[in-house]
Chain A
Amino acid sequence: MRTATRTFLSVTVLLGALVPAACGDDTAAPAEGDGKTVTVYTGRHYGIEAVFDEFTAATGIKVRFTTGKDPELRERLVAEGANTPADVLMTADAANVELAAAAGVLARVVSDTLTSAIPAELRSPDGTWFALSRRARVIVSSTERVDSPPTTYAAVGDPAWKGKLCLRPSTHPYTQSLVASLIAAEGEAAAEAMVSSWVDNDPLFIDSDTDIYKAIAAGECDVAIANTYYLGRLQTEDPAFPVAITWPEQDGRGAHVNVSTAGITTNAPNPTGALTLLEWLATDGQKTFSDANFEYPADPAVQPTEVVAAWGPFKGDTAVIVRLGEFQPAAVALLSRVGYE
């Protein structure tokens, strides 16, 4: 019994000692604003450490980062306000970075390096964020069962694909921004009719682009809408993977394109280091950043990796990118109205 008492008391004392230690831990971390370290909140985490290592090797500036979901990182930045340790916010989606900019957590950046490397359509007009890579959301189909795949997003709603269609659920930002681009291009009524016709085809909803590709290979569906870079990963493992890309809307506005972005936070402790990182990512780091995930570099002069280049050139709907955030709430409401999973 004595032992139990002693245990309880020592646990209490230990806790008392640990609470300040737990706080103190944080101050022992690399000092903020010392100019040698850039702190990044990133919603993109695939292959990110290799890019940062290369940046550190090139500039001597260290990067510490925390990964998370785009909307949660945005909420955290808003809550932290002037106290944020973050210098840079990186997102995997244009709408989310727009919402962050609208919430006032991103600073306006003036940099000739950035504006000359990144085309005007791929950065916010007010300089709050810059795209670093492009990701196309296209029509994909089985090479074994489909001879003439749909060539427009509207054609995905053709009754010929009833029971043969795979789509990603509406909870995912990729679906939301695709529908936002449809609203921007065709107007709300036409977009609603189009998405309705997809739903009428009784699609199989799968919350993973990789699994969508695998479902086509397994014969679960013939046609789907998915991002191209997942095919890059699958083709690297198996060059004969039986799914092909069709670039949609090539006679019109082009395939839906979303972007990976970065912006400097309003209260960045190390804005100089942050700008160095952004400029490096937009120039010397472009290839590593995009290739790590089989994406298209934001700078059109930089070539994508071999697997990606083999899919050929395409026209992308880049004009709408800066407005995706504006149409996102309407897209979410539309998806609810038509009963999209």
Chain B
Amino acid sequence: MIAWRPGRGPGWALLVVVSVVMTAPVAVIVWSIADPSTEVWRELWQTRLPGMLVDTVTLVTIVVTGAVVVGTGLAWLVSAYEFRGRRLLSWLLMTPIAIPGYVLGFVWLDTLQSPLGARAVRSIWLCAAVLIVSLYPYVYVFAWSAFREQSPRTVDVARTLGRSSFTAWWRVVVPMARPSIAAGAALVAMEVLTDVGTVRLFNVSTVADGVLRVWFGTGDRDAAAELAVVLVVAAMSLILVERALRGRARYTQSGVRGGSVARPVTGLRTVVVNVAGWGVLFIAVAVPVVRLARWALRAQQLGQTQSISGDLGFHVVSSLKVAGLATIACLVIGTTMVFIARERGRWGAALGRLASLGYAVPGPVVAIGVVVALAAVDRRGWWPGEVLLVGSLAGLVYAMVVRFLAVAHQGIGASVGKVSPSAVASARTLGAGRLRVATRVELPLARAGIIAAATLVAIDSLKELPVTLLLRPFGVEPLPVWVWQATSESLWVQASVPSLMIVAIGMPLVAALLWSVERGAEVVS
């Protein structure tokens, strides 16, 4: 990079402090591995562990493959072909991200139960299908933004050289978008590894499910933590695989960027394109929303439009407060880390990734880790007065940051990294200080990417359940808690109102995300 020597001390200190604070909740849980209980392991290995590993590997493989095929395929359809409703479709295909997996799960479970039978519906295949339609947007958004970035000339050249549209896509476009697709796939894999809601509905016993099974069944936190370490290791290997797949690839586009590679489709192909696009939307959005809406009408008739804690407005305010604060906190901390870490080489980057560890750990494990860590601070009485962190809004927001900092950090890092070094160099030559360059040049140029990262964090915090459930303060009851209170009793009608509300709040966020992607945000490093 540009040759100037920043004052290193305070930056390092800040970086280390943030990393320690963000890693502490996972560390207190993982600490127990220092003294592994071999007896528990032997028993686990002889009983459930092999099955859990098989289920986990199977599920991750099917879901990642499915999400990559669906996400990349759809992104290609709406990028490569021109047809009526293309623009609308390309936006709508992003909306499933606003529907929490645990909502999609119970809606489809109940919908398919009558035609397929209760036994057939509880299978790893249907679980995978639900996870695919719920998670493909992560791949779609990355692939879509990568395809948008590619010059139409690349495809034109391939076609001029006698390749068909498909071959041109497969041999030229996809390889160039590979880093983005791999990043999306890694996010999907992480979500599947840490999922504890959807898998239980479908009787799939993954390792994450096993952590809760051991912990809550026997009260043996140490044994559960040891199992959780398996997940952390798996997630870390995933990140390494993703980095390897990405390699040192830096593709340079020739000629004009942007513009449209889309060409009109006709005849049978129009049908195929429309059926694929609208078909996925039908499964992922239309059926669940219609089903929820009908339940919500029933809830209206029965007068069940409020929870045991308050009315809809009260829950909406809670959700907005928590998701809003979590997003702002992730943005500020993420941006600060990106700017400090990038001038500090490999170790800086490593610390940045370490601070993102919470994303690789199941929500309930993070939640209890945060309670243990914050309670330890509370006992020291470092704060004035009677203020306690456990059960405060600050404690909940902190837990959300631990869980979702990775999303903000990656997104912001990617877009700031894309700012042309010459723009920075020019500003420096003109005498601007580092802070001035950051705030006047780099952040404004990276604005779209930062907004994209912010909306992703906001959507994630809006849907988050386990952390919210354990850490919410009195008088703050975000919508997912209400959904949980109803679904844990199989009361789908009562769960419909808050579920629909989560989707409704998520929609403008999806629109903001799409807007920023269209403005050139690349959502990933």
What is the interface of chain A, defined by CB distance below 8 A to chain B?
A: 1-2, 4-5, 8-9, 11-12, 14-15, 18-19, 22-27, 29-30, 39, 45-49, 64, 66-72, 74-76, 79-83, 85, 99, 103, 166, 169-171, 173, 176, 204-211, 215, 218, 220-221, 328-329, 332-333, 336-337, 339, 341
Chain A positions within 8 Å of B489 at CB level? 46, 210
Interface string of B377-417 (1 = CB under 8 A from A): 01100010111111111100100000000000000000000
From 327 to 370 in chain B, residues with beta carbon under 8 angstroms from any chain A beta carbon are: 328-329, 331-332, 335, 364, 367-368
Q: With the chains together, A8 CA to B336 CA distance in Å?
A: 11
Chain A positions within 8 Å of B475 at CB level? 29, 64
Check if B439 is an interface residue, CB within 8 A of chain A. Answer: yes
Interface size class of B (residues with CB under 8 A): 35 or more
Q: With the chains together, A29 CA to B372 CA distance in Å?
A: 23
The smallest C-beta distance from B160 to any residue of chain A, in angstroms, reads 40
Chain A positions within 8 Å of B260 at CB level? none
Q: With the chains together, A4 CA to B443 CA distance in Å?
A: 7
Q: Would you call A26 and B439 a contact (CB within 8 A)?
A: no
Given A9-B439, A15-B329; A68-B470 close (CB under 8 Å): yes
Q: Would you call B308 and A49 a contact (CB within 8 A)?
A: yes
Interface string of B25-40 (1 = CB under 8 A from A): 0000000000000000
Given A18-B325, A26-B391, A71-B219; A220-B117 close (CB under 8 Å): yes
Which 4 pairs of residues, A with B, have the shortest CB-CB distance? A79-B375, A22-B393, A210-B490, A336-B47
Q: With the chains together, A5 CA to B119 CA distance in Å?
A: 57
Q: With the chains together, A212 CA to B437 CA distance in Å?
A: 63
Chain A positions within 8 Å of B328 at CB level? 11, 14-15, 18
Q: With the chains together, A1 CA to B43 CA distance in Å?
A: 61
Q: Which residue of A lies closest to B441 (CB)?
A: A1
Q: With the chains together, A135 CA to B475 CA distance in Å?
A: 30
Q: Which residue of B lies closest to A176 (CB)?
A: B217
Q: Would you call A336 and B48 a contact (CB within 8 A)?
A: yes
Check if B246 is an interface residue, CB within 8 A of chain A. Answer: no
Q: Would you call B119 and A80 a contact (CB within 8 A)?
A: no
Check if B309 is an interface residue, CB within 8 A of chain A. Answer: yes
Check if B472 is an interface residue, CB within 8 A of chain A. Answer: yes
The smallest C-beta distance from B52 to any residue of chain A, in angstroms, reads 11
Chain B positions within 8 Å of A171 at CB level? 200, 209, 212-213, 216-217
Q: With the chains together, A276 CA to B368 CA distance in Å?
A: 31
Q: With the chains together, A9 CA to B444 CA distance in Å?
A: 12
Knowing that A79-B376, A204-B122, A207-B203 touch, tell me 8 more A-B residue pairs with CB under 8 angstroms. A12-B332, A19-B394, A69-B469, A81-B375, A85-B391, A328-B218, A329-B220, A332-B213
Check if B481 is an interface residue, CB within 8 A of chain A. Answer: yes
Chain A positions within 8 Å of B297 at CB level? none
Q: Which residue of B lies closest to A339 (CB)?
A: B47
The smallest C-beta distance from B430 to any residue of chain A, in angstroms, reads 14
Check if B168 is an interface residue, CB within 8 A of chain A. Answer: no
The smallest C-beta distance from A155 to any residue of chain B, in angstroms, reads 22
What is the interface of chain B, defined by CB distance below 8 A to chain A?
A: 43-44, 47-48, 113-114, 117-119, 122, 200-201, 203, 205, 209, 212-221, 308-309, 325, 328-329, 331-332, 335, 364, 367-368, 371-372, 374-376, 378-379, 383, 385-394, 397, 439-441, 443-444, 447, 469-470, 472-475, 481, 485, 489-491
Chain A positions within 8 Å of B390 at CB level? 76, 79-80, 83
Q: Which residue of A lies closest to B469 (CB)?
A: A68
Q: With the chains together, A4 CA to B490 CA distance in Å?
A: 47
Chain B positions within 8 Å of A67 at CB level? 308, 481, 485
Given A46-B489, A76-B470, A207-B201; A27-B387 close (CB under 8 Å): yes
Q: Would you call B203 and A5 a contact (CB within 8 A)?
A: no
Q: With the chains together, A64 CA to B374 CA distance in Å?
A: 22
Chain A positions within 8 Å of B473 at CB level? 25-26, 29
Q: Would you call B118 and A72 a contact (CB within 8 A)?
A: no
Q: Would you call A204 and B119 a contact (CB within 8 A)?
A: yes
Q: Which residue of A lies closest to B481 (CB)?
A: A67
Given A4-B447, A205-B203, A208-B490; A26-B393 close (CB under 8 Å): yes
Q: Which residue of A lies closest to B491 (CB)?
A: A210
Q: Would you call B203 and A76 a contact (CB within 8 A)?
A: no
Q: With the chains together, A23 CA to B113 CA distance in Å?
A: 46
Chain A positions within 8 Å of B335 at CB level? 8
Q: Which residue of A lies closest to B43 (CB)?
A: A333
Given A66-B472, A80-B378; A220-B217 close (CB under 8 Å): no
Q: Which residue of B lies closest to A24 (CB)?
A: B387
Q: Would you call A45 and B118 a contact (CB within 8 A)?
A: no
The smallest C-beta distance from B365 to any residue of chain A, in angstroms, reads 11
Q: Would you call A328 and B217 a contact (CB within 8 A)?
A: yes
The smallest C-beta distance from A170 to any residue of chain B, in angstroms, reads 8
23 pairs, CB–CB < 8 Å, chain A vs chain B = A5-B444, A11-B328, A18-B328, A22-B392, A25-B473, A27-B387, A47-B308, A49-B308, A66-B474, A69-B216, A71-B219, A72-B216, A72-B469, A75-B372, A76-B470, A79-B376, A80-B375, A171-B212, A210-B490, A211-B490, A329-B217, A329-B218, A333-B47
